[in-house]
Amino acid sequence: MSGRRIVVVGSLNADLVVRTERFPRPGETLRGQDLAVLPGGKSANQAVAAGRLGGEVVLVGAVGDDEHGRLLRSSAAAAGVDVSHVLVRAGTPTGTAVITVDAAGENTIVVSPGANAALAPADLPAGLLEGAAVLCLCLEVGAEVVLAAARAARAAGALVLTNPSPSGPVPAGLLERTDVLVLNEHEAAQLGGHGVPRSVVTRGARGCVVHEEGAAPVPVPAVPVEAVDTTGCGDAFTGALALRLAAGDPLVEAARRAGAVAALAAARAGAQPSYPSREELEAFTAASG
């Protein structure tokens, strides 16, 4: 890897969040708290998490020419992320995620892709990955653009970090171009023997397990916190992991540091609003030992 720049290609969503005591059963209506509209989307979240921690981050994606799109671009830019390659699509709504959060901080999410579905390989700027350290990918945009970005990263010598979420078919050829796979237990069970030489399986409050070819799995315990909202915690982990890998950390150490970021995010409400600055993270890790 020739630099420390992180390129994130993928989704930006407005999170429409309602908190309730518990999740509704099929056909049931529950009373919730006031609706909150917050910046989100897996890729935007990962970029903001890395940017807030001081990373040099470029975000590539698409939003609509609407209030949600302006909110998302503004939030990422405020975190220090380069949003000059976030395209504005007139006549197309910004992607949205409808999120319910229960009293235990767990969530359910339904995503409507909007402008994310319009992102195409032609939208990837030529030469963007030259000199980059890490490319972050997820599956909230089309398979063609994900594969095109992975190919460009491989050609440029950048490490490809893939989060195969949301669950579903993984584009053919993506895993063979992936250097590090970050996935939860459900996704790991779905993929089975994925063939990627290095992976991190996240397990929520039980931390994560690091797998590296030729070595025994290494459990990394979570930092204990009282969870308020787990929305976007996996993205906080992925963004922080990308930052530490770009800095040259070994995968186990990168996962340990990323776990602290995810824990702090879980202790606060929202996705991007919960992500810590470098100073907040240092104070948190010092206090938690």
Give 3's pLDDT tier (boundaries 50, 70, 90): low
Q: What structural domains and CATH numbers belong to the chain?
A: 5-12+41-94+114-288 (3.40.1190.20)
Tens digits of residue pLDDT in 121-149: 999 999 999 999 999 999 999 999 999 99
Nearby residues of 146 by Cβ (< 8 Å), 6 or more positions away: 9, 10, 137, 138, 139, 171, 174
Return phi, psi of residue 166, to 5°: -70, 160
> DSSP 3-state assignment of 13?
strand
Which residues are known to be catalytic? 235
pLDDT (mean) for 5-11: 98
The phi, psi pair for 97, rounded to 5°, reads -130, 125
Mean pLDDT of the chain: 94
- Give CA–CA dist 192/174, Å, rounded: 15
- Check residue 1 and give its pLDDT: 36
Q: What percent of the chain has pLDDT over 90?
A: 85
pLDDT of residue 24: 94
Minimal CA–CA distance to 182: which of 153, 205, 166, 202?
Answer: 202
Segment 47-70 shows an average pLDDT of 98
